[in-house]
Amino acid sequence: MIKQWQIFVVIPVLNEEGSIAKVIEDLPSIDKAEVIPIVVDNGSTDSTLNVVEKTGCISLHEPVKGYGRACQKGLAYARSKVCAKAKSIAVVLDGDYSDYPEDLISIVKPIMSGDYDFVLGSRTMGRAEPGSLGFVQKWGNELATNLIKWRYRYSYTDMGPFRALHWPALELMELEDLNFGWNVEMQVKALKLKLRVVEVPVRYRKRIGKSKISGTIKGAFWAGVIIIRSIFKYG
């Protein structure tokens, strides 16, 4: 039987053998909705693919590296599965088990109630385990949220990875970033398009395995460059 809602949860992964099964297992079921995890790998060299296969969930492979590109691939697949008789939501969730998949319930609720188009999981409004947010993440958050506030007079409290978009809003956005400007692009375009935006508190903990983005020095440098460039490019 077709459920009223389809919730596509796109999970980009790169070498997350220790965490990806936990992320999928902890996704909650949601009343009146079909929750559909879609894992998108970018050439993991560990056993991530085997682990994902064992979970039985949809597993895609994107040959060209890039966080945004992997998310785009997952969303393109979801688009091919969108059912005209249901309402759809696109969710992005990292595969490192630092977000709590159970918080999906609070992430999609404001959309399912018809009140909002874009929901951002805020780790600063919620509970972030000490040490879970590194220096680059905090600094990147400060820089991006302040620049957005200056440009749009809207104060986001986070640039976190766990987020949801009502499907028609996603299509309006025409997201194009293929890398780490993806989050910034989404948040900026949500304001530019005057979507109904809300943040909900989410929990955050130290990741399993090693960071591929913000935990590196290269990541710190590029985070700044990408944030500034994305705000001007997409704003």
Ligand X SMILES: Nc1nc2c(ncn2[C@@H]2O[C@H](COP(=O)(O)OP(=O)(O)O)[C@@H](O)[C@H]2O)c(=O)[nH]1
Q: How far is CA 111 from the centre of its chain?
A: 15
Q: Is 207 in the site for Mg ion (CB under 5 A)?
A: yes
Find the shortest distance in angstroms from Cβ 98 to Mg ion. 5
Return residues touching ligand X (CB under 6 A): 12-14, 16, 40-42, 65-67, 70, 94-96, 207, 211-215
State the nearest-atom distance from the C-beta of 111 to Mg ion, in Å: 24
Q: Which does 201 bind (CB under 5 to 8 A by kind): ligand X, Mg ion, none?
A: none
Nearer to Mg ion, 214 or 230 (CB): 214
Q: Is residue 189 involved in binding Mg ion (CB under 5 A)?
A: no
HSE (CB half, 13 Å, CA atoms) of 153? 1
What does the angle CA 38 – CA 219 – CA 18 come to, to the nearest 5 degrees? 40
Any long-range contacts for 153-157 (C-beta under 8 Å, 24+ apart)?
A: 154/191, 154/197, 156/120, 156/122, 156/187, 156/199, 157/122, 157/124, 157/125, 157/199
Instruction: Please identify, using beta-carbon distances, which residue of 109 and 205 lies nearer to Mg ion.
Output: 205
Pick between residue 98 and residue 106 the one whose CB is nearest to Mg ion.
98
Cβ 73 to ligand X shortest distance, Å: 8
Cα separation, 151 vs 200, in Å, equals: 22
Of 145 and 214, CB closest to Mg ion: 214
110's contact among ligand X, Mg ion, none, with CB below 5 to 8 A by partner kind, is none
Report the residue count for the chain. 235
How many chain residues are in contact with Mg ion, going by CB under 5 A? 3
| Range 42-72 burial, b when 16+ CB lie within 10 A, else e | bebeeebbebbeeeebbbbebeeebbbbbbb
Site for Mg ion in 75-134 (CB under 5 A): 96, 98
CB of 106 to ligand X, least distance (A): 20
Task: Return the number of the residue (196 or 206) whose C-beta is nearest Mg ion.
Answer: 206
Q: How far is the CB of 131 from ligand X (least distance, A)?
A: 12
* Least Cβ distance, residue 67 to ligand X (angstroms): 5
CB distance 165 to 118 below 8 Å: yes
Query: Could you give the count of Cα atoms lying within 13 Å of 190 in the half-sphere of its Cβ?
Result: 26
Q: By CB under 5 A, name the binding residues for Mg ion.
A: 96, 98, 207
